[in-house]
Amino acid sequence: MQLIIKSLSGILDEEEKRVIRKKMLWFEDHLPNNSQMTIGVKQHITKRSNQAFEIIVHLNSPTIRKPVYVRVFKSNLSDALDIAKEKIERIMLKKKSKKQIKFKLPKINFRKNRDKIS
Contact 35, 60 (CB under 8 A): yes
Residues 7-27 pLDDT 10s: 988 888 899 999 999 988 888
Backbone angles phi, psi at 75, to 5 degrees: -80, -15
Q: What is the model's pLDDT at position 94? A: 83
Query: Which amino acid appears at position 72 of this protein?
Result: V
For range 31-55, the mean pLDDT: 83
CATH code: domain 2-117 is: 3.30.160.100
Q: What is the mean pLDDT of the chain?
A: 81
Q: Is the pLDDT of residue 70 over 80?
A: yes
Q: How many CB atoms lie within 10 A of CB 78?
A: 14
pTM of the model: 0.73
Residue 72 pLDDT grade (very low, low, confident, very high; cuts 50, 70, 90): very high
Residue 107 pLDDT grade (very low, low, confident, very high; cuts 50, 70, 90): low
Residues 89-104 pLDDT 10s: 888 888 777 764 334 4
